[in-house]
Amino acid sequence: MSGWSCLVTGAGGFLGQRIVQMLVKKEAVKEVRALFRTFSLKHEEELSKLQTKAKVTVLKGDILDTQCLRRACQGISVVIHTAATIDIFGAASRQTILDVNLKGTQNLLDACVEASVPTFIYSSSVAVAGPNSYKEIVLNGREEEHHESTWPDPYPYSKKMAEKAVLAANGSLLKNGGTLHTCAIRLPFIYGEECQVILTVVNTALKNNSKIKKYASFSIANPVYVGNAAWAHILAARGLRDPKKSASIQGQFYYITDDTPHQSYDDLNYTLSKEWGLCFDSSWSLPLPLQYWLALLLETVSFLLRPVYNYRPPFNRFLVTMQNSVFTFSYKKAQRDLGYEPLVSWEEAKQKTSQWIGTLVKQHGETLNKKSQ
């Protein structure tokens, strides 16, 4: 099991960074190749801190560049594919999302076959399972229940089709005569330090007299801490490389959650930030059915204007549904097949994330002080 090498795509992302760090610190890897689309000074500093025997190679390239992917995969034992355009607001064009999430994944699978990479782990999303309606209730859902998203929106559709491609590629013949083994990790909302969604929520609240706007009060979700999400990928890599475990993991997908309490997204934001004086905005908000029908109206306006003007609504039906559904999953299958147990407890995850939010609040206060001087 020792002396293997791993390529991590999306290595500059929230999840990808943690996977790179964890591979270096916890695994007997000889090399980690970190594929970045944009590589900053901050990333360079973080990677230089990884004092270890493992070699960390930075590759700057795009998931749509087939030549780059072939070079990146040469001599690699495992590919962990986290690169994706995560867009539930409709900010990016449909074609961009499909290109990166679907075409990019297929490009990487093809590169693995060409370079004879035997192990491929895909970072998927619970969005491939739904929810299809805010009236639908899924509590502690399991893999064998076959939940599937019916949304045509580019993000859930592209992640669903990419996951299908990855699982269908399991058993493919490699160029050297070996066999490709694949699995997918389905993740819910990932939180923790540097989470861009929480960053936006906190910064918006700080500009609004420390009041958090409610947007997801009707949801019951089980978010996962970023360290636990990364850990599941490490265990999947171990499992697929282990001849004793591999057969039960190949071609499978796994829901990964942790012991974060089931709660609404609004309550999660409040719980993580209340120590720093943030509280809910008590202003009136639209009832859920009205939000949904308003979203439909805005989508219709956007569709009708498309020939002459690219109008992007502030929200859509998929977003309203996702943020206001009872939609939680169990990690029992991952526990059984991968030996997955959350590495970080809820209390520790809450403390780490809250401390990071505290730095944001202090930075905001310092900025205001400078402006007033």
Question: Can you tell me which residue has the tokens 């829901």?
Answer: 255
Closest CA to 149 of 163, 165, 169: 163
- How many Cβ atoms are within 10 Å of 90's Cβ, its own excluded? 20
3-state secondary structure of 125: strand
Compute CA 35 distance to the chain's CA centroid, rounded to the nearest angstrom.
16
- The alpha carbons of the chain give a radius of gyration, in whole angstroms, of 21
Closest CA to 346 of 195, 211, 225, 216: 225
Handedness of CA 293, 295, 299, 304 (dihedral sign): positive
Amino acid at 221: A
Closest CA to 210 of 219, 201, 218: 201
| Residue pair 178/116 in contact by the 8 Å Cβ criterion | yes
| Residue pair 360/205 in contact by the 8 Å Cβ criterion | no
Q: Which helix (H) or strand (E) holds 31?
A: strand 29-36
Q: Which helix (H) or strand (E) holds 328?
A: strand 326-329
Tell me, yes or no, if 332 is annotated catalytic: no
Closest CA to 121 of 166, 69, 164, 83: 166
Residue 183 phi/psi, 5° resolution? -155, 165
| Residue pair 124/159 in contact by the 8 Å Cβ criterion | yes
Tell the burial category of 218 from Cβ atoms under 10 Å away from its Cβ (0-12, 13-18, 19+).
middle
| Residue pair 130/327 in contact by the 8 Å Cβ criterion | yes
- The Cα 208–Cα 281 span in angstroms is 9
Active-site residue, from 60, 103, 159, 371: 159
Catalytic residues: 159
